[in-house]
Amino acid sequence: MSSEVLFFSGAAVVLLAVAVMLGRMLAKRRRWRLLPLVVTLAAAVLVLTVITGPLGVRSLAVLLAASLWGAVLLATVFLVRRSHSRLASMVGGIGAVIAIQAAMVAFVVTRFSAAEAPREYALLWLPAAMTGAVRNLGEPGSGVETPLWVRISQDAGPLPLSVVLLSGFAVAYAARRLSLARAADVQG
């Protein structure tokens, strides 16, 4: 692995840890309803990604990706609230990964044709866009000078990193609220 891949991977892990800690800390201090919280997070992803890039087909792809991410994340947060304490972390982690992958796959499928971005490499699009760790995405050598992983990264802009961070925040918030509510029930 190159040093830039390690740097971007490490930066993403550190930022995710900060987002999770922020979610846990705010869960103790604030009591937000989960539906407005997830809708606000999805709107933030949408606005941030659309503002930072060109409009057009990319905006449709971002809208679809943010909507799908928000829907899957909302379902995950509701499952976390209904799960047992020990199971909630696992459900939240798996659901967050599914939401993040769904957003990235929806973005690339909407933005690029099947000839440009072969669909069998769909699970590699997120690491390729975020860190450049995956560079062979099966694209044909049809005279395109810029590799697919670079085009995905440029077109997606802050979408991959923002959905990762906000997923970590939302799941940590929901899991912490669950544990605080159960602790209050036991004490009261």
Residue-wise pLDDT for 72-100, tens only, equals 999 998 898 888 777 888 899 999 999 99
Contact predicate 118/138, CB 8 Å: yes
Query: Is pLDDT at 159 greater than 70 in this prediction?
Result: yes
Query: Is pLDDT at 142 greater than 70 in this prediction?
Result: no
Average pLDDT over residues 49-68: 76
Query: Is pLDDT at 188 greater than 60 in this prediction?
Result: no
Query: Is pLDDT at 37 greater than 90 in this prediction?
Result: no
% residues pLDDT > 70 (the chain): 91
Average pLDDT of the residues of the chain: 84
Q: How far is CA 78 from the centre of its chain?
A: 17
Nearest by Cα to 99 from 76, 132, 120: 76
pLDDT at residue 72 in the model = 94
Give the pTM.
0.84
Domain ranges of the chain: 3-182
> How does DSSP classify residue 123?
G
Average pLDDT over residues 161-179: 89
Q: How far is CA 89 from the centre of its chain?
A: 17
Average pLDDT over residues 27-40: 79
Nearest by Cα to 42 from 12, 11, 64: 64
% residues pLDDT > 90 (the chain): 24
> How does DSSP classify residue 112?
S
